[in-house]
Structures are given as C-alpha cells and as structure tokens.
Structure 1
Amino acid sequence: FNNMLYIFIFIVIVIFIGYAFYIVNAKKVKQIPKHWHNILIKEVLFYKKLTPNHQAIFRNRILLFLNEINIDGVNTEIDELDKILIASSAIIPVFNFPNWSYNNLTGIIVYSDSFNEELQFSNKDKNKRILGMVGTGRFKNQMILSKKAIRLAFNNKTDKHNTPIHEFVHLLGKMDGETNGVPESFIGKEFIAPWLELMYKEMEAINSDESDIRAYAGTSEAEFFAVTSEYFFERPKLFKQKHPELYKMLSLCFQKSN
C-alpha cells in the first residue's frame, strides 16, 4: 500500500511540475510587448485604422508569425522594427483570414540593400536592382527582402508601393500551385473569368501607358496580381476611385467588407 501511495504522490508531483512549466512558458510565448502598439501606430497605417479590438488581434498575429518564421540578416542587423514591419506585411493581406498560416514559407532572408538574380549584393555585382523575391530551388519556401525596401514600404504612406506585401501576395498566388496571377483559392471558380477579363483589359491599358497602375504590373499575370494588391492596401480610397471593378474583385479576394 505504501509503495502505491508513493507512486501516486510521485505522479501527482510530476504532473504538477509539468503543468507549472507549461503555464510559465505559455505566458512567455503569449506575452506581447506593450510598446509594439506605439510602433505600429507610428509606422503602419493599416494598423492605425483598425479598431482597438482588431489592433489587439493584429499584435497577436505578429507574435504568432514571428514565432513561426525565422528572419535572418545577411551582412545587416535585423532589429525589432524590421521584424514588426515584415510581420505586418505578412498579416495585412490575410488579416481577414483568422487562422491563416503561411505553409509555403519557412524563413526570410534580409539583405541590407538591393540584389541581383544570383542573390549577389556587393557594389561590384551587375543588375543589382531586386528589392524582394520569393525563392526557388535551394531557396524554396524562403523569401528574400531588402532592408531598405522594408523601411521604404512604410516610410512613404502616400505611394502605391510596398515590396514586402508584394512578395507575400506572390506566396498567396502560389497556394493553388500555379503562378498565373489568378487567385483561384480566394475568389472561387465563378469569378475567374471576370478576373481574367479585368486583368487583361487593365494590362493592356498599363502597357499603353493609359493607367496609373505601376508599369511592372503589365509584365505578367502574377506581377499584375501582386502590384495591384500593393495599390489596394497602400492607397485603398484612390484605388477604389480609379479602379472600382478591380477594387471590388480584390475586396472579394481579401474578404474586405468595404
């Protein structure tokens, strides 16, 4: 009987210690730094426009993203602001998808400035014009970003550009296994034909220099989706005014209510 009692007490102690350890670590994981709010209010216009409840959700999703995705700098230091801005860029396009996780992303590599297609970034390397890309080959499931582009994306709140959002939208475009610029996983099959009609019509206008959408959107269907999404999130009112049909279609895609 005594042996049974000792075993029972031992099991209870082990369970108690395990539970206490879980609670302590859970609190550490879930703790969101209070100063993040002030940083986000200052730096991220999308966050500033949210209600207090939605702001709390946004901060929590930043924490979850940073716990899931590794961010490493190459010849540059990655500070807290860089991480917050990268995570914000990831969350903005999928904010209305509550349980979203980037299953096709494992890590983000940050260079100090632009780089070329071979991911070379020294001043001696030619064609050093790339600010962001989704990796392929040995860099599959990786995203490469320029630190300069990350900061510029949020410093200028009146332009239509946001390189990190652009690259995260590319990840969304790859969810169905295709890179054809058709967000089939988000708009449903019945809207594919209207999307294609709108896309090719606007691409023709872009390539004829008759649109205010950035010229890069006219280079391919995938780039059209990414560039128009930048515009949609950076200057929503202007985009709605200039491109009401595209605005409705992207609102459907990103589940934006207005």
Structure 2
Amino acid sequence: MEILIAFIAFSLLAFIISVLLYFIFGRIVEPTYIFLFNKPVYVHFYPFPKELSFSEKAVLEKNFRFYRNLSEQRKKYFRHRIHAFIDNYKFVGRGGLEVTEEMKVKIAATAIMLTFGMREYLPDLFEVIIVYPDVFESANGDYHKGEFNPAAGAIVFSWRDFQEGIEFDNSNINLGLHEFGHVLHVNAMGIKRLGSAFVIYSDMFTSIKQYVAVPYNRDKILNAGYLRDYAFTNEHEFIAVALEYFFESPQEFRQRLPELYEMIKKMINYREN
C-alpha cells in the first residue's frame, strides 16, 4: 500500500511539474525568445522519427530541388513529416483516378515545404485530399484546377496541373504550392497562440500588408513585372502567388524584390538548407 501511495504521489508531482514547465515555456520562455530573435525556440524534435521506403525517397530526390538542397539531418526531418502527413489525411481519387504512393509523396512534400520552418505542420482545416485527373467541376458549376474548401474539410487538385507545377519547377506556377499556401495562410491567421510560430507569421503578414500599402512600394512591385497579375486580386491570392515565386525562383525573387523576399522568408521561418 505504501508503495502504491508513493507511486501515485510521484506521478502526481511529475504531472504538476510537466504542466508548470509547459506553461513557463509557452507563456514566458518562447514568447520572449520570439520577441528577441523573431523565430521559435525549436522547430524539429522527433524522439521516434518515421522513415520512408527506398522508392518514396527516390521520388523526393528526383522531383524536389528543395529536398536535395537540405542537409542530411534535415532530410530526415523532412521525410518524417511526409510520413506523418500521409498518415494524417485521407487521399481520394475521383474520375477513375487511383492515388498512388508516388502521388501521395509529391502532394505531401509540396505541403511540407511551406511549413518546414514551423513546428505545427498538420493543419486541421481539412481531412481529405481529393485528386481528379484533370480540371474538375466545383459545387458552383465552375471548372477549377484546384481549390481549398475549409467548409467541406477538403483540398482538391487536378493531377495534371499539380504534376506540371512539379515538372516545371522554375515556371513560378505551382498549383500545389498555391493551394497549400491558402491553407497555411488561413491556418496561421486564425490561430493566435502565444509563443507559436503563427504569431510570427501573422505579424510578418501585417508588415507585408503595410509595406504593399505604401504607394512607392506597390509601384515598385508592379513595375518589376515579376509577380503575375493574379497576385493583385486580393491579399489571400497575393500571399499564395508570392509563395509560389518564393520557392520556384528564389534567387530572382531576392534580386528583384529583396524587401518582400526577406519578409516572406521571416514569415515562414525559412532556412536555406
């Protein structure tokens, strides 16, 4: 009986200490760190990392320049996140399309690229990824290449157009990056957890809006003739398009629009390798 009481007391004490440490880290340590350095204390910590198969790793090496440029350690982090992403969401093929493991890896890798600088990388804004062979008819009767529908908990792609975005990785048109960019934006702007990387995102997005609102800066972006016209539809499309360019032609982006490039880099806590 005394041993049982001691065990219960120890477990309770351990629980109280862990809750206290979590509170101190989340409410004091990390917010202070973010305030001083504008980045989270840590991003990657996986006590039991998952691994991909040989064929899945080959898909990454062949198709994703972003992955090839990572250090070996960060490649392991990337592969773990892809494994977790594939396990977390349901993939559904429509129009007679079968979603293969290769397709799942390509979709997951595109999403993980955007959030690789953040701890939170599995948004709960959607549960299913629907893939059509080609353009598809949306609920409103219009035909689309892709869409993010948070009300339905789904993100939808035309595989032909998604694949083209990967094959031509310097065209600045990447359907996957664009739609997952919408997911990232809605998720980050809807969550205001103290100490979270989403705070950095929302703060930097505010800075970007303020920057673009200045006529001189807006004219400079327009006169650069770099971002396609669709970027100026609204603020959601601006960020989605800018993220496409950020990953597809980073050197040109940095050269032609250096201030905007640096703000987006900070917004997603991006590292070069």
TM-score normalised to the size of structure 2? Answer: 0.71
Aligned to 1:177: 190
Of 67, 72, 75, the match for 2:87: 67
Of 225, 236, 249, the match for 2:250: 236
Which amino acid in the other structure matches residue 150 of structure 1? F
Which consecutive unaligned segments of at least 5 residues does structure 2 have?
1-48, 192-196
- Structure 1 residue 198 and structure 2 residue 219: aligned? no
Query: 1:79, 1:110 → 2: CA distance?
Result: 11
Aligned to 1:149: 161
Which consecutive unaligned segments of at least 5 residues does structure 1 have?
1-28, 121-126
1:201-230 CA-partner distances (Å, limit 9, x unpaired): 566667x67521011101111000100011
Q: Which of the pair has the greater relative contact order for Cα pairs under 8 Å at 6+ separation?
A: 2
Aligned counterparts, 1:203-242, within 5 A: 211-242=225-256
73 and 173 in structure 1: CA distance in 2 versus 1, 3 angstrom threshold: same
Query: 2:230, 2:61 → 1: CA distance?
Result: 30
Query: 2:71, 2:105 → 1: CA distance?
Result: 19
1:110-141 CA-partner distances (Å, limit 9, x unpaired): 11111244376xxxxxx53x21111154x2x2
Per the TM alignment, residue 155 of structure 1 is displaced from its structure 2 partner at its CA by 0.3
Aligned to 1:19: none
Of 152, 169, 173, the match for 1:161: 173
Contact 1:113 1:148 in 2 (8 A): yes
Per the TM alignment, residue 157 of structure 1 is displaced from its structure 2 partner at its CA by 2.0
- Structure 1 residue 32 and structure 2 residue 52: aligned? yes
117 and 35 in structure 1: CA distance in 2 versus 1, 3 angstrom threshold: closer
Residue aligned with 2:54, SS: coil
Query: 2:202, 2:155 → 1: CA distance?
Result: 27
56 and 220 in structure 1: CA distance in 2 versus 1, 3 angstrom threshold: same
Which amino acid in the other structure matches residue 173 of structure 1? H
Moved over 6 A (4+): none
Contact 2:78 2:116 in 1 (8 A): yes
Residue aligned with 1:98, SS: coil
Residue aligned with 1:159, SS: coil
Aligned to 2:101: 80
Which amino acid in the other structure matches residue 231 of structure 1? Y
Per the TM alignment, residue 186 of structure 1 is displaced from its structure 2 partner at its CA by 3.2
Aligned to 1:18: none
Query: 1:223, 1:203 → 2: CA distance?
Result: 15
Aligned to 1:248: 262
1:27-55 CA-partner distances (Å, limit 9, x unpaired): xx945202222211111111111111111
Which amino acid in the other structure matches residue 111 of structure 1? Y
